[in-house]
Each structure stands twice: as structure tokens, then as C-alpha cells.
Structure 1
Amino acid sequence: MHDHHLPQFHVRLSRGYVNDPNGPVQFGGTTHLYFQSRSLADLSVPVEWGHATTDDLVHWTLHRPAMSPVPGGLDSGGCWSGNTVVDGDRVRAFYSGKVDDSPFQSILTAVSDEDGANFSRPVQVVTDPAPEEGVTMFRDPFVWRDGSRWHMVVGAAIPDGTAAMRLYGSADGSDWQYEGELSRLRRTVVDGVDTGEGWECPQLIAADGREVALVSSWSHAGGPGSVLAFPVDSAPVPRRVDDGHDFYAASVMREGSFGQVLFGWIMEGRDTAGWREAGWAGAISLPRRVWLDGDVLRTGPHPAVDGLRDGPARPADGATIGAQAEFVIPSVADSGTISLRFGAHERLDLTVDVAAGTLTLDRGSASSAPGVAADGVTVAQAFDDRSDWAARVFLDGSVVEVFTSAGRSITTRVYPTSPPPWRVEAPGGTVVWDIAPAIAAATDAGSRLALPVS
């Protein structure tokens, strides 16, 4: 049966569980995106590395998993998060290998000589922390090169509530030496945001000539928190990268023809029973560009996403849409609300207040289904008067990504019980584009990766 909640232009599986993006990397003119995946929507299934490729950052082909756990090996409990680097004529992956009885996820490397499609048996390249160090979490390598020198950061948690990025260096990508901590911060609250007991998925991205760290705040008791960013050339004052409810585990492509690109994991906004019944969970965000506003990292849709538009723009007010669409509110628009009317009693409201400089997302009435999150969010200083648009809103089934002209973003989920067609009410000047499905399965994908539900 048709599932109108299933995204059609965000990378995801038609069946199974998707979480952290890994990589991505451009190799031979093709961009490869790897991601945590399970063949079933069941967290007891060991994690593999799912694999998708694209030539334009928006139309994706799904392939068979590029990496799977080796029975009895260093990743027997799962191939967890990391990234990839082009190493001559091959792709080298660095990742966390889970072994169920180990206190840490060991840092492993594996190599693909097959255009990034399959990786070799892994070897460990970094020694696990010694017991006397007191490290309570250690995982998720991120590797990059600066000239001939290789660098790696690994996320860590230390018993006194300190989150850290441990730094390693190498001349060849195989033999690594510990070089100390790139950054650390005792757990605190900044602008109402918990900075975390530990930092998962550390990444480094260059923005406006400075290196900026992205980390995913985490705690033993609470698990995942928020994606935070801060320049590494000063004491860390982490700020949220996305103000929504469902963006986590950011992943960076540092090099390539598209410039530096950021992806994230779009989590579910429904309880476990909901996604298990659906048979799928999770998606990967649209590609984003980044820039600095002072010391604060801002994001916006990568210019490539314009290629998703199908047909001409039309006035949004009074329009009837399907489950895939993009809305653009012009910068000259008066204050007002885009209301997506899913049914008689279901709607999503996004309110622009030009005078206050705020954008508010209200999903309190977006779904009448049980077990669905309904909290909203307001972002301040949302608009840049130098832009010709105030906000762009991407709707893809249950996924909503909102971007404002000043670089604020809101990633969230909605699960209306009413299927399309849906009706739009919008401020004057707001336009809408339809978006066609952009995910396909490769011929090598077999039965595990069915074509998108249509």
C-alpha cells in the first residue's frame, strides 16, 4: 500500500532503518554517501554501511550495503560511524567497529578498490583508551588530510562530565599517533542547550577561512542531544546547527566539485511502535552549504537542490499539492502563516513575523495519530534583508526542512493521517514547486532495496 509518510527525495530505505550519514566523498566524479543502515526496522539487527551515489547531489541511486560486520571480527557487533577519504585510486574508510563485549568501539580502517562499492576486511589503527585514562565513551573517527599529513579526531567522554575530541596524526593513514585533545568542554548549558557529557560524530569543516568543529552532544543517561558547532581556534562556545527536533549526527564532505557539503540524520518523530509498524525509519537530510556569522555556524540549502523542482512555480495560496513540494516565501512578504491543510482536523503552520524577525513552526495539530511528537519551535533573527527570499520549506512525506535567509534551519517530522492531496493557505507572493521522486535502486540492489513507494 502507498505510504505517504515515506520520503521520496531524501536518501532513505524503503524498508529498514537509517541513521548516521558517513563519508561522504567524491571519487571519480561520483559522490558516494554512506550511512548507518539495518535491513529491518529493528535495532537488534547489526549495523551495516548503506551506500548511495549521485552525480548532482539531489538524484540518488541506492546500492547494496558497502560494508557489513565480519562474524567474529573487529566489527562483529556492527559497522558504526566514521568517514571516508580518497587515497590515490581507492577509497579508505575509517569507522567504529562494535564488538558486543567491548567497552569501546575500536577505530578501524577498511579499503575499497572497487569504486567505493565494497570494502575490505578491517584492521584496527588506533589503540583503545587505557583503563587508567577513565574514558567512558570513545568512537566515531573523522579523518582529513592537510597536504601530506593525515589527521583524525575521535569523540570521547571523560568521567568528570567533560566532552572531548581526541586528536591523532599520521604520515600514511595507517600508523597513527595520539597528539592530545583538539578541544574539550566540561558539560554545561549554552542558550538553553546541553553541551553533552560526550561528543559523538566529531567533524571538521572550513568556513570563512576558519576550522569549525561540529559535534553531536550525547550523555550516558539521555543518549543523543543536538548537533553543535564552534570554531576550534578559540575556547568552545557550542551553538546549535539546527533548531528543529530531528537533526543529528552531521557529516561533512570537505572536498569536491560541490564545495564543502553538510548532511545530517533525520530522526523519527514517532514512537518505536509507529516506525516498526511502517517497516522503515530514518532519512538523510538535504545537502547544505555552511558559513560563519561571527562565531556561529549557519546553514542553508545547497544550490544543487534547485534541481529537485519539477515544472514551473505557482502561487501557493489556494494550491493543491502532493506529499513532495518546496515553498518559497519572498523577502518582501508581509507577516503571515503558511498553513498546510492535511485534512479537516490536521494542519502544519509556519508563521513569519517580519517585525519580530521570527519564524515559528507549529505542528500541534499536524497529526491525530498516537505516539507522534507535536512540540513546535520559534527561531529568532531569522531573516537577512540582503536575500530575495525569507524562507524555503521542503516537504517530503513526513520530513519537513525549513531554511531561513539568515541561515537558521528547522528539521522536523509530521505524520498526518490524511493522505494527499493537501491544500495550502499562504501569504501573498509565496510560491510552490512540485518535486518529483529522486531516489532509485541500482540494478545490483536486489530485493533488499525496492524502488520507492509511489
Structure 2
Amino acid sequence: MSTPPADPHLPAVHLRPPRNWINDPNGLVFHAGHYHVFFQYNPDAPQHANVHWGHARSRDLITWEQLPVALAPTPGGDDADGCYSGNAISVDGRLVAFYSAHRTGRWWQPVTTAESHDGGHTWAKRPESLIPQPPTDTTMYRDPYVWQQDGRWRMLVGSALADGRGAALLYESDDLEHWTYLGPFHTSSPADPADPAGWECPQYATFGDRGVLIVSDWTPQDGPSHVTVHTGHEEHGRFTTTAPPVRLDHGPDFYAPALLKAPEEDRWLLWGWSWEARDESWAHEAGWAGVLTLPREITLADDGTVGQRPARELLALRGERVLHRSEHVTRSGPVELGEVSRTFDLTAVLTPDPADTSGLRLITSADGSEYLHISFDPTACHLIVDRSHASLDARAREGVYTVPCPVARVPRTPVELRVVVDRSIAEIYLSTGQVLTVRFYPVGDGPWRLEAHTTGIAGSDFTVEAWDLNAVGLRHETLLACQLRDA
């Protein structure tokens, strides 16, 4: 087994700067042979303040190069207190970033831009905001998303309407400079103005004549909440859904995802922000906070179901196969499957007992008192992830989270899982396309090991494989945080 890292919770294969704060992924774009990922970044501390755009790029989604900070606040400018979320496009050999210009005390964030002609190493901001004022019927306004469709440029901006509904507002342009407001592209259901909701970070993907709208739900009382996905089609600048909205990720630690159109036809990639699930003082002691999820492929099935799976390139991160077991497990006792490292990729096929719960337990302490619990309840038709015992440190959050089955299940039908664990983050994918992201912070001194268990009389069958993941693909060079701060 590998030697534990100096910080056992700092992810090894998930993208983030080596220190300090990261949150929303921004400006995801493929340009000149590279995938570019920008992100909200504080170069000075592990807290959400002094927001810049950090920047990394990759040719293969495996090896990442950290580039100089792309955007920094301009003293006295519209973005004096932060370069907040947005996206980027590749056009005519240049990169154009669209972002939210933040100033403390202003409830809206004007849309503005910056351009790069050298692959994202240096940037020039426009002298004034692109869209300085929001429509009059809004109470929140931020997070542009720009794409090209049918020969025209389109932009969604996250918003809250005065009547309490969340909205994605639509603009159009022929030249990226002059934008016409067309009204709400889509809104949430009618709401109580006394209990308003807003939509942050709208993202839109097209699959032929169908569309997928992703929004991050936000409220003034509680702030960021969860992410919902809407499927349907657009007609005359309005999006009509064909199914009720559902959660994009069923875990507690996922927000503000962003899309990237891969160079292959109809392949969409997505990254999300996974925030810390521990006391803020602990993050300050560690010197870092936040991580981006692994890149995911987004699919749209014929029935309108949105699915997610790890990007196919991530199979190249697998190193030695450390576990391969097939076991029939009864309630007489759990079965030890073997040891795993702190960073591993696991596939499991579980044929559950039809009457009771069965699952896997990732044990991280020598005495077995610290563990992450993943199980399936065939009666309720739920996958259950329980982190109530996942850390012996009381500063870590607890909780039990479920993923409902998308369709009714036949008894003894196998449940297929892929679980990627990277020190303090677990991404749990079902073969049905659903995902649950959870953070946990083991502090036990034992080797990590897996157990299979069931509480049913008939027993359950398990086939489990696990591979160590190679962290050598991530080049976490020091970000040149100050190089462009005054540019």
C-alpha cells in the first residue's frame, strides 16, 4: 500500500489548485487542441473572497497543466470585488470569456468579457460592461452562458424574477457585441414572492432537436441548494419541458456544474463544484477548500432521462488492480473483500437479497468504527449512502442520502455501481445514469478495506473489482497568482 500523504484529505486526481479556495467551474471550452477549465479561485486564502479565475488545461483530460490566473478583479472597476461565474467560447482563433462582474452592495452582476489571443496565457478586458443593467422585473442577475446555435450567438443569464420565480433569461446576438433581450427562456413554477428562489449558473446542451437545461437553485435565506435538470425542446426562444425537473446529483456536496462541448459530435462533458463538508476552521488549518468533480459525460436517452458517467478517458488513470472478488454473502456476517488505497476506482455488481438491505462498507479505521456505508434497499428501491460514521472527527458533517430508482425494479435484478474515491470525495455512479457526490474525512489509523454485507435471509451476490488510481497525471504546479493581477 502507498504511504499516506502529508494531507490525507487533499484529492489526488480531482482537479483543484494546490492551495486555497476553489468553487464554481467556469469557462469550460475546447480550444486549439486543449480542454480548458477555469474556476472561481482565491489565491490568498481558503475562503470565498477576492475571486479570480484560475485556469488549467489538458489535451487528454488526464494530465493537467495549471496556467497563470486568467482574470483578476480590477480596482475601481465593475469587477472590483470579484470576477464571478460565466463561460468561454473559442471563436476566430481567440478565447472570449463572459463573466459576472461583482461589486459588494450591488445586487446584480453585470455581464462583461475578456479576450485572449495566446491560448489563455494573457487576457484583455473590455473597457466597459457588455450588459450593464438587468431587466427591470428581476431581483437577481448573474452567470452568463454563451453558445452558438443556428448561426446566431445566444446567452442565458441566471436570474430571479420579482414574482419569486427562478429564471434563465435569453439574449441573442449576431456579433457577440450587440445583444437583444428576448425574455425568460424558462422559469420555475410560480412561487411566493415572500419566499423567492433564483437560478444560478444556467447551462444548456442540445441533442439534435432536444435540449437539456441545468440550473443551480439558490434562495436568499439559505444560499446555494441543489442542481436541477430540465429536459424538453425550444421553440421561438422559449423552452418547453417534457418531464418534471429532477436532481442532477443526489448528494449533499455538489453545486454549480458547467458544461463543455467536446470536439466529438454530440459529446458533452460536465464538471461540478464539490464544497467542503467540514468545519471552516479545519479547512483553514489545511490551507485549502473545495474541489472540482471528475469530468462526466452527459447523455440524453430516448425517454428524456439524463444520464451521467465518468468521462471515458478516466479509465487511463487506473493502475494496479488490487481487488477482484465474487462472493455470496449472508446475514451471518460481513465478508472481507480486501484492502484498497485512499484513491481508487471500483466497479460492483450487486444482486441484492429481495427482502432487505445489502451493500458495501469502506472501513477506514483499525477497529472498524469509522466507515462510509453504501447500500441498496430493494423494498424502497433506493441506493443509500450513509456518512454518519465516516469520520471520527466531530468537525465533519454527517448525514444519510438516497438515490431513488428511476423505474420499478424486478426482484433479484443486479444493481451495477461504479465508485470513485479520492481521499475525501466519493462519486457514486449507478448504471442507470444517476450520481451521488459526497465528501468525507477519515482520520482513523488503519488501512482502508472493503466489506460486503446483507441483512436478508436469502443472501446477496457481489462481484467487485477495484484499481488504484495513478495521481501522476495531475501537474499541480504553483499558480502564478499575482502575474496578471494588475493587468
TM-score, normalised by the number of residues in structure 2? 0.84
Among all aligned residue pairs of Structure 1 and Structure 2, give the percentage whose two residues are the same amino acid. 32
Equivalent in the alignment of 1:402: 428
1:141-152 map, 5 Å: 141-152=144-155
- Supply the distance in 2 between the matched residues of 1:102 and 1:39 (Cα, whole angstroms): 23
Q: CA deviation at 1:399?
A: 0.4
Equivalent in the alignment of 1:129: 134
Equivalent in the alignment of 1:52: 56
The structure-2 alpha-carbon separation of the partners of 1:16 and 1:419, relative to structure 1 and needing over 3 Å to count, comes to farther
The structure-2 alpha-carbon separation of the partners of 1:218 and 1:187, relative to structure 1 and needing over 3 Å to count, comes to farther
Equivalent in the alignment of 2:416: 390
- Whether the aligned pair in 1 keeps the contact of 2:321 and 2:465 (CA below 8 Å) is no
Equivalent in the alignment of 1:222: 222
Equivalent in the alignment of 1:314: 323
- Supply the distance in 2 between the matched residues of 1:447 and 1:248 (Cα, whole angstroms): 25
- Whether the aligned pair in 1 keeps the contact of 2:159 and 2:199 (CA below 8 Å) is yes
Residue by residue over 1:355-383, the C-alpha shift from the partner in whole angstroms, topping out at 9 and shown as x without a partner, is 76432111111112122211011212169
Q: Which amino acid is the alignment partner of residue 337 of structure 1?
A: G
The structure-2 alpha-carbon separation of the partners of 1:417 and 1:308, relative to structure 1 and needing over 3 Å to count, comes to same
SS at match of 1:237: coil
1:271 equivalent to 2:279? Answer yes
1:379 equivalent to 2:408? Answer no
1:39 equivalent to 2:39? Answer no
Equivalent in the alignment of 2:157: 154
Q: 1:422 aligns with which of 443, 448, 466?
A: 448
Q: Which amino acid is the alignment partner of residue 169 of structure 2?
A: R
1:436 equivalent to 2:460? Answer no
Equivalent in the alignment of 1:253: 260
The structure-2 alpha-carbon separation of the partners of 1:71 and 1:160, relative to structure 1 and needing over 3 Å to count, comes to same
- Supply the distance in 1 between the matched residues of 2:190 and 2:290 (Cα, whole angstroms): 28
SS at match of 1:273: helix
The structure-2 alpha-carbon separation of the partners of 1:95 and 1:322, relative to structure 1 and needing over 3 Å to count, comes to same
Q: CA deviation at 1:42?
A: 4.3
Q: CA deviation at 1:75?
A: 1.0
Q: CA deviation at 1:114?
A: 1.3
Equivalent in the alignment of 1:70: 74
SS at match of 2:337: coil
The number of aligned residues is 440
The structure-2 alpha-carbon separation of the partners of 1:109 and 1:80, relative to structure 1 and needing over 3 Å to count, comes to same
TM-score, normalised by the number of residues in structure 1? 0.90
SS at match of 1:319: strand
- Whether the aligned pair in 2 keeps the contact of 1:321 and 1:424 (CA below 8 Å) is yes
The structure-2 alpha-carbon separation of the partners of 1:95 and 1:419, relative to structure 1 and needing over 3 Å to count, comes to farther
Residue by residue over 1:197-253, the C-alpha shift from the partner in whole angstroms, topping out at 9 and shown as x without a partner, is 010000001246411110000011110011111025324732100000011001001
Equivalent in the alignment of 2:213: 213
Which is higher, the Rg of structure 1 or of structure 2? Answer: 2
Unaligned runs of 5+ in 1: 190-194, 450-454
The structure-2 alpha-carbon separation of the partners of 1:359 and 1:441, relative to structure 1 and needing over 3 Å to count, comes to same
The structure-2 alpha-carbon separation of the partners of 1:55 and 1:406, relative to structure 1 and needing over 3 Å to count, comes to same
- Supply the distance in 1 between the matched residues of 2:388 and 2:312 (Cα, whole angstroms): 31
The structure-2 alpha-carbon separation of the partners of 1:312 and 1:134, relative to structure 1 and needing over 3 Å to count, comes to same
Q: CA deviation at 1:77?
A: 0.7
- Whether the aligned pair in 2 keeps the contact of 1:94 and 1:107 (CA below 8 Å) is yes
Residue by residue over 1:268-299, the C-alpha shift from the partner in whole angstroms, topping out at 9 and shown as x without a partner, is 11121221121101011111112235344222
Q: Which amino acid is the alignment partner of residue 143 of structure 2?
A: D
The structure-2 alpha-carbon separation of the partners of 1:388 and 1:445, relative to structure 1 and needing over 3 Å to count, comes to farther
Aligned CA-pair RMSD: 2.6
Q: CA deviation at 1:159?
A: 2.5
The structure-2 alpha-carbon separation of the partners of 1:447 and 1:179, relative to structure 1 and needing over 3 Å to count, comes to closer
The structure-2 alpha-carbon separation of the partners of 1:120 and 1:207, relative to structure 1 and needing over 3 Å to count, comes to same
Equivalent in the alignment of 2:237: none
Equivalent in the alignment of 1:301: 310
Q: CA deviation at 1:354?
A: 5.6
1:78-89 map, 5 Å: 78-89=82-93
The structure-2 alpha-carbon separation of the partners of 1:392 and 1:61, relative to structure 1 and needing over 3 Å to count, comes to same
SS at match of 2:314: helix
- Whether the aligned pair in 1 keeps the contact of 2:42 and 2:49 (CA below 8 Å) is yes
- Supply the distance in 2 between the matched residues of 1:186 and 1:91 (Cα, whole angstroms): 36
- Supply the distance in 1 between the matched residues of 2:481 and 2:139 (Cα, whole angstroms): 40
Q: Which amino acid is the alignment partner of residue 399 of structure 1?
A: I
Unaligned runs of 5+ in 2: 234-239, 326-335, 453-460
Q: Which amino acid is the alignment partner of residue 285 of structure 1?
A: T
Equivalent in the alignment of 1:239: 246
